[in-house]
Amino acid sequence: MNKHKPILSLADAKSKKLQDPVKKFKTSIRAKATLETYRKTFIEFLSSVEEFDGTLEEMARQFRDYALKHLEETQSLLENYAMHLKERTSKPTDSQEYLNPSVILRFRT
């Protein structure tokens, strides 16, 4: 049996214009409840970065542009945010900063 591999081109992949990150995000999620939950988390994360400002769309573009130029710093930023979320799970349950640990588990899967 003669199998043919698909032929892909790195040049074609590079030549595509970057999609709007929020539009891509919204079209990738079907369930409205899931979209709203993720949207709130997305806004919370982007708003936590002091250098980002504007609408969700503007902050998402700022993050994308930053991430494309600063891969290691972006990884560190995401790790720091994850640690911040983990710290919130240790707060007293009556604290406004408390975060239920099950929320974090849902986003890992």
Quote the crossing angle between the two packed helices 56-69 and 32-47, to the nearest 10°: 60
Q: pTM, whole model, 2 decimals?
A: 0.71
Chain segment 68-83, per-residue pLDDT in tens: 999 999 999 999 998 9
Higher per-residue pLDDT: 16 or 37: 37
Distances (CA, A) of 3 to 6, 99: 10, 51
Chain segment 50-70, per-residue pLDDT in tens: 999 999 999 999 999 999 999
Residues 6+ apart with CB under 8 A from 84: 48
To 10 degrees, the CA torsion angle through 45, 48, 50, 54? 60
Residue 37: band (very low, low, confident or very high) from pLDDT cuts 50, 70, 90: confident
- CB contact at 8 A, 43 and 56: yes
